[in-house]
Amino acid sequence: MKYILLILCLPLAFSACQDASTLREQHELDTWLENVSLHLRPGDLVFRKGVGLAGRMVTLAGGSDEVYSHIGIVVAREDTAGWFVCHAVPGEPDFEGDEDRVKCEALQSFYATNKASKGKVVRVACSDSVAELTALSALHKWKQHTLFDHEYNWEDTTTLYCTQLIAAVYANHGIDLVEERNHPTHILGFNGVYIFPSDIENSALLERISYY
């Protein structure tokens, strides 16, 4: 009988450990977000390492220096308090039938544990006024309902992918975050030259604010 009870209790114990681990991760994330929110300004850049298949594909396709799979820009909205992130992302609809597009979601949602396993916040070396203008440009892309660029065509900015959005809004204000960096890639369905998160992350114009 004691062996039967042990077998029956094992799944419960495993589930309890999982729950405790999830709660601990959430608490650590909440603490980090609360702290980093005190130091943000519009225009700061936020990197994350995704937990899903798409994120793993990006980091694998990007090579050994690809730590993060996605990037967005910090914005402040007039209609509600708190920090938000504008980012071009596929596969994260806000509602049934929602198209892949530039989104604007709360910082806490951008870094939710079901979306991110790592995070990093950086600041571009520019004035507060220029940084705010780039954030407003990103908000404009969101309000325009700009679609996600599934063709990953760097020359066409009518649709945008994640790094393209960030590079475009800063380039509009005279700041080149990419320079000549790129990734010629021929694996996992990527067949061409792409700008990966590390191509922006490696800019000398970025200063790290925080990471987890």
The model's pLDDT over 163-201, given as tens digits with 9 standing for 90+, comes to 999 999 999 999 999 999 998 888 777 788 999 999 999
**Domain ranges, residue 28:** 1-39
176 and 77 within one domain? yes
97 and 8 within one domain? no
173 and 103 within one domain? yes
Q: How many CB atoms lie within 10 A of CB 182?
A: 15
51 and 21 within one domain? no
Contacts 24+ apart (CB under 8 A), 106-113: 106/82, 107/33, 107/37, 107/40, 107/46, 107/74, 107/82, 107/83, 108/30, 108/33, 110/46, 110/48, 110/72, 110/85, 111/29, 111/33, 111/46, 111/48, 113/22, 113/25, 113/26, 113/29, 113/51
Instruction: Dump pLDDT digits (tens) for 16-25.
Output: 444 555 667 8
99 and 9 within one domain? no
Q: How many domains does the chain have?
A: 2
Instruction: Dump pLDDT digits (tens) for 23-37.
Output: 678 889 999 999 999
174 and 118 within one domain? yes
121 and 92 within one domain? yes
